[in-house]
Amino acid sequence: MAVDQADAELISKMLHRWSGWERVPEDTVKGLCDIAETIEVKRKRSIFRRGEPGPGLFLVKSGEFKLSLISSEGREQILYLAEPGKLIGEGFLPRDVQCAASGFAMVDSEVWRFDTDGVVKLISSNETLAFALMRQMAFRANRLIDLVLDLSLRSVERRLASFLFTLAVRNGAEQGKPTVIPRQLDMNTVAARLGTVREEISRALNRMQRNGILSLSRQEIVVLDLGALERVTYE
């Protein structure tokens, strides 16, 4: 489904949030909107799968998506989560290159798809668009390298503490004051994101609760000692 004027304005607003996109001329962004297709994706359905040809560049309109790998034993590793306004560039590939991971909707969602050939055509006439996309890809590559370092060099408890510390800061955490983190992700999703299993996450949470760092309930996690939580990430 082609985008209307309201969607075109929203696409422009979302893209211009990211570094590098402020240099992209409006007529180039309009060109992207002209080739955009709105796709509704039901929960657990994919926008692309590992081993398939890349279908294009995606921008999340609503809902949430995960980029993940699933082993032959069924264990999942989430590479990242993409909420509204996030670009998903792992499907933006030459036709003869296969996707290295799969992209799934975590809830009923909508996404805009920009066909690869159309984006390449726009890039060929505007280097600022190429630069903006290069920045995006470089950022994603750096985040994936950080993930590899986490999985290979840091314990589950350290990875979990780092994850919770980031969420606490996003929720306005201050030293000396309790900070509430709503439990928006289920334990299996958190485990898959941190490269472990649900049981290991439960054990790490309970250890931090016994040490007075956290208070746990079914609905939320309360960070009681932000400094101690930060220290765990470096132990």
pLDDT tens, residue by residue, 120-161: 999 998 999 999 999 999 998 998 888 888 888 788 999 999
Determine the CATH number of domain 156-232.
1.10.10.10
Neighbours of 166 (CB within 10 A): 12
Average pLDDT over residues 164-183: 88
Class of domain 5-153: mainly beta
- Residue 174: what pLDDT? 85
In this prediction, residue 235 has a pLDDT band, given cuts at 50, 70 and 90, of low
- Please tell me what DSSP assigns to residue 217: -
pLDDT tens, residue by residue, 23-80: 999 999 999 999 999 999 999 999 999 999 999 999 999 999 999 998 878 888 999 8
Question: Is the CB of residue 159 less than 8 Å from the CB of residue 150?
Answer: yes
Tell me how far apart the alpha carbons of residues 115 and 127 are, in angstroms, rounded to a whole number: 18
Domain ranges of the chain: 5-153, 156-232
* Mean predicted lDDT score pLDDT of the chain: 91
Q: Is the pLDDT of residue 1 over 70?
A: no
